[in-house]
Structure formats: C-alpha cells, structure tokens
Homo-oligomer: A and B are copies of this chain.
Amino acid sequence: MESEFIAWLRARLPEPANPLLGPGDDAALLPCGPAGSCLATVDLLTEGVDFRLAEADARRVGRKALAVNLSDIAAMAGRPTAALIALALPRNGAPQPGGQHLSALELAIELYEGLLPLAQEYDVAIAGGDTNCWDGPLAISITVWGEITPRGPLRRDGAKPGDQILVTGNLGGSILGRHFDFEPRIREALLLNQRYQLHAGLDISDGLSLDLSRLTAESACGAEIVLDRVPISPAAHQLTQSLADGVSPLDHALSDGEDFELLLAVPADEAQRILRDQPLSVPVASIGQFVPQTGLWQVDRDGRRRPLEPRGYEH
C-alpha cells in the first residue's frame, strides 16, 4: 500500500516553498540554515505506551507524534524546518473510539491529517518518509530538523549556581488530555532566547523533578525548588480528586510526564526581567534556583530544606 499512500500524500502536500527534493526519491534534500549546522531530533511513539488507538483519535496521535519533536526543537531554541515520517502500520488496521475500524491505509491518512495542520502552522516541510505494514501494533517515528538562531542552541549543560529555575505554563495531569493537545513552545523559546540571556533549557517531557535532575546532572550543579512556587495545572487538581489515591496535585506537577513546557536556567537579573515583562501568552514562573551542591532540594513553606527525589517517566 506504500505506493498508493505516496500518491495520496503527494496530492495532499502543499507545494514546497523551498527548493526541497521531497517525497518520491531515495532521500530528501533539505536546505540548511545560514549557521552551517542544523538541529535534528527523533521520537518514536508506540501503541500502548504513548497512545491507545481504541481510545484516541488517530489524528490526535499523528499530531502528538510531530508535536513531541517540535517540543525538542523548542528545547534547543531552534526553528523547525522539515520532518521525515516513518510508520509501522498494523497490517489489518486498527480500532478507533466509537467502534470504528480503520484500514492500514486509512490509518496512515488519518495520522497525516492530524500532523499536517501542525506542520503547516510551524512551517515544517514533510520531506519524506517510510511507510510499512507489519504484524505488530502502530509505531510512529518522526525525525525533525531545525535551524539554530544566531544565539546558538540552548543546551542542557549551561546552568550555573545562582541561576533562577523558570518554567512556562502549569504542570501536572497532562494524562487527562494535554499530552495530546499541548502546544509545542517553539514561539516561546525563540522569543525568550532572542530577548533574554538564557543559560540552559529543556522541555519537560518526563516530569519536572526528573527532567530537572537531568539538567543539573549535565550542568554539574544542583537545584532547589520552592514547592509553593510550582505552577500546578487545573488537570493536576482534577486528577487528585478523581483518582483519590493520595497523590497530591503538587506531586503530579513534580512528577507527571508530558507537560512539554519549557524548563530554563536563567541568570537572576534576566529572570527578574522576564518575570516582570511576562512576554509570553502563557505565564512564566520562577520555582527556585540552581545551587552549587549537586542533587535536588525542596524548600517547604516553613523554609525547611530537604532532598527531593527525582520522579517521573522512565523509558
């Protein structure tokens, strides 16, 4: 069915705005930015781990598969430019919510119908891919390219003791729906990195405390979170109420995966400017600071400081 699918895709794709050699040849030809280097990232999403097709519309799944990659480019403060999409489709198709069943070809088309609007929104060219049927469940692997800006890539290893810990948006409870429908923070990262001096950053994909521990490990320092300052999402509160398992909204905000918000290390004076300016369409909050002593620390409302165990989604 690959040839049938490629015919559909070629008709469906907008004419490339740049001199790309797109789907149909052995490899795509991608324009590189003026910097002489480009960002590249890959994420592989799988049935049963990242989504369940019986419960999630295939278009939301397709959108998510691209969005998580765009979030990785945002985490480097890059501008996404192109994507390659590899699909392993269940030969007999897959169920959808409401009892509908999609054939393999229909499933491929629905995945693309979900991701193409997002690609268009962020000017990402679909440069090609590989479409296969097999006896396994759906696996989607997307590779995305990005250009870096003159500021260079925003790495994980630049946090310095004294830097503030900033986060965008609010955290926790994404399982209730935001893990599909989140907005990758491309525009936010580009704006912050252009206007302010950032030392390091990543996107919170596996949980605030776990991802923060990775950032501190790369930067050879520690971090201290002031618990009262962690921005907790309404979904985290909702989850605590509905699960009634004793996990607090704060715990969800500290350890739930797939928030896809930005976590930044910013020099204290720059952080003050950002907090005062609030230049984004989502709030930016300071939740603590980086410290010389390695490890994670939590400070409660009485000012007590204790170790914080990093928790989150381990692959």
Contact = CB atoms under 8 A, between A and B. Distances in A.
A53 to B, nearest CB: 13
Interface stretch (A145-153, A267-275, A301-309): A145-153
**Max chain B C-beta neighbours (<10 A), residue from A87, A146, A314:** A314
Interface in A35-61: 36-44, 46-49
Contacts of A139: 44, 46, 88, 134, 136, 139, 141
Contact of A31 (B37, B88, B153): B37
B156 A86 contact: no
B46 A132 contact: yes
Counted per complex, copies of this chain come to: 2
A42 B132 CA distance: 12
Interface string A4-39: 000000000000000101001111111111001111
A130 B78 contact: no
Contacts of A143: 40, 42, 84, 86, 143
A198 interface: no
A244 interface: no
A86 to B, nearest CB: 4
**Max chain B C-beta neighbours (<10 A), residue from A21, A26, A130, A148:** A26
A315 interface: yes
A312 B75 CA distance: 43
B130 A73 contact: no
A157 B23 CA distance: 13
A162 B133 CA distance: 38
A142 to B, nearest CB: 9
Given A131-B315, A139-B136, A315-B132, A84 B40 contact: yes
20 contacts: A2-B314, A24-B156, A24-B218, A25-B76, A25-B155, A25-B156, A25-B157, A26-B75, A26-B156, A26-B202, A27-B41, A29-B148, A32-B36, A32-B37, A40-B82, A42-B84, A86-B141, A88-B88, A139-B139, A143-B143
Given A44-B130, A47-B136, 18 more contacts: A25-B202, A27-B72, A27-B78, A27-B146, A32-B33, A32-B38, A40-B84, A40-B127, A42-B84, A44-B86, A48-B135, A49-B132, A49-B133, A88-B139, A132-B315, A134-B137, A135-B137, A136-B137
